[in-house]
Amino acid sequence: MSALLHRSDGMKAVLAQYPMTDYLRQEKATEMLSNMPAAPESTIENYHTPARFDLSYALAAYGKYLTYFGEDPKLWPIGLIADAAAMPPTWIIHGEADKVVEIGDSLKFVDQWTKNEVRGEVKLSVLPGMDHGFDDAIKEDEEEWLREGLGWVQEKWLG
């Protein structure tokens, strides 16, 4: 989001891990992130600051995300990319089986980047079978795709 809002601030590269490029949507379900029980809908009305994690997913699961945050498309990167003339080199990493942030949002963002002929490189790595937060325990020396991607970011960042 910062790269879209502060384009002339000298940002050299962006690394976006399973980014929320559009508003969060969830199917009403009995399970949520990491097989946690779904928060009741009352979470939306009765939340306290420490419960914001539950609030975000409850808003999505009960279709109230836009009611709470507003419907201005410029709140989300997908609504800003159409007006972007240029972006810093951007690497997006997303698990193909992400149950929190839809992989389709990252695909749509990259598609809009390409269609709008935004100057700057975008690299999308879709990891088959991986869910949200899949990368919390991976190591660069054990994963070729990660080593290659970080090398790409380093090259763009340091020139």
Give the residue with greater pLDDT, 10 vs 95. 95
Q: Which residues of 75-107 are buried (b: 16+ CB within 10 A; e: fewer)?
A: ebbbbbbeebeebbbbbbbbbeebbbbbbebbe
pLDDT of residue 51: 58
Q: Where in the chain is the domain with CATH 3.40.50.1820?
A: 2-22+76-158
2-22+76-158 CATH: 3.40.50.1820
Residue 113 clears pLDDT 90, i.e. is over it: yes
pLDDT in tens, 85-105: 999 999 999 999 998 889 999
Rounded mean pLDDT, 56-83: 88
